[in-house]
A and B are shown apart, each in its own frame.
Chain A
Amino acid sequence: MNRAYLQQGLRFLIILLVQVLILKRINVGSGDFNYFHLFLFPLCLLLLPYNMPKIGAILLGFISGLMLDLFYDTPGINAACSVLLTFIRPVIHLWLEPRGGYTMNASPTIRSMGNRWFISYAAIGMGIYILSFFSLQAFSFVFILSILLKSIFSFILSFILILIYMYVLQPEN
């Protein structure tokens, strides 16, 4: 149990650092076609254990989102997306609940849930996070086309990144 907490904590720390120190600087694309941004951070929130209290998860999302915003210089945007994602997370769990139910103190990883389940789970979660992120950044639906383009391209790249992470590290918790 302690080991699980330690692993979660370390993951938060490392992914946050990777996100702000490396991924933030990567701007795929050229000139006006600057539609890509890599998100790894939402994975931390997605991998929180099932039995984590809802309010605790939301608060954790808020705090870690704010920390991310400190580096991104976008006060509130990442925090808002994280809070949204942590709030919706239990709902996604309900949607995707397998016949046997969940092992309550486990985390939703590939190893515990299998490929298909994890891909749909991560896709929904990442989609929500990325769409809300670009919506809040543009802050007006006047830019709907740009929001959608950025979201789609960033989603594809970030999702590939997450799958690589999951397959390479094979986290248990």
Chain B
Amino acid sequence: MQNLLQLFARYGSFIVFVLLEVICLYLIVNYNKQQREIFLNSSNILSGWATEKTDQIARFWNLSQISDSLAMDNARLRTLLDKATFENLPTTDTIIDTTYTQEYMYTPARVVGNSIILWDNHLTINKGSKDGIRRGMGLITEKGVVGIVSNVTEDFAQCVSILNGKVRVSATHKKSGQFGTLLWRGEDPRKITLKDVPKYAEIEKGDSIVTNRFSSIFPDGISVGTIDTFWVERGTNFYNIELNLTEDISKIRYVYVVHYLLKNQQQEAEGAAIDE
């Protein structure tokens, strides 16, 4: 307390001076129009500068978030592109024509889960039973085959990708029409093996392999891959063909689910044939 009094005795006039000047400045700024405007303007310039600087820093730290949201936006816009939606047209554009019956329908879907490094690789898509997805439907992109729906919930569907050791799909050599069975040996996610093509088929490197409809999953002529290497398996009459996949499974974002509308009829007929 004594120190405080001493302090005041020594600097009292200075303290009073500062105090009163602050009061005066307060009065000036508050009750004089011109000074008030100048004061507000200057403080706006100062605070504007400070805000801008902090904003710049904050923007830098938010870059990753921004790029995420941009990617989301891109994906959304991509679904609006013709490329993503044109396959959907058959669902809305039903031509009543007795010459032809609508055989396939496509539902676009987004890939929300994917794996390529396992032996049993799966994809998850964001369409489910609500959208008419059923077990056993095929998945394709505009470039090639992707997989087969294996499990369906209301909003999602799990699909085995063709990079799955358990999947066997029939495929045809486009030029000769000879067909074989696709299987993945679990090594390179860009390669797949085609077995059981008879060795009298005339095949060359670079020939394309397409799907056929024998397994009633995919329509005819969906590209699978191009021939990379091939040899005749020892002791058999069949080729063993290594294919380069046309679609890079690791990068797919959007797929089309194939509805084969006549599947029941086909299976019924085949079942009947077996029964006989």
Contacts and interface: CB of A to CB of B under 8 A. Distances in A.
Answer whether A and B are interacting partners.
yes
B27 A79 contact: yes
B21 A83 contact: yes
A77 B31 CA distance: 10
A54 B12 CA distance: 8
Nearest to A62: B20
Most buried by A among B14, B17, B29, B34: B17
Contacts of B38: 139-140
Contacts of B21: 80, 83-84
Contacts of B27: 69, 75-76, 79
Contacts of B29: 76
Interface string A112-154: 0000000000000000000000001101100000000000000
Contacts, number: 64
Nearest to B31: A75
* Interface residues of A, dominant DSSP: helix
A55 B16 contact: yes
B42 A140 contact: yes
B178 to A, nearest CB: 90
A110 interface: no
Given A55-B12, A75-B27, A76-B25, A87 B35 contact: no
A63 to B, nearest CB: 10
Given A74-B32, A136-B35, A139-B35, A79 B24 contact: yes
Contacts of A137: 35
B39 A139 contact: yes
Contacts of B20: 58-59, 62, 79, 83
Contact of A76 (B12, B14, B17, B24): B24
Contacts of A136: 28, 35
A54 B13 contact: yes
Smallest CB-CB A-B distances: 6 pairs: A76-B27, A80-B24, A54-B13, A76-B28, A75-B31, A87-B17
10 contacts: A59-B20, A62-B20, A62-B23, A74-B28, A74-B32, A75-B28, A76-B25, A76-B28, A77-B24, A139-B32
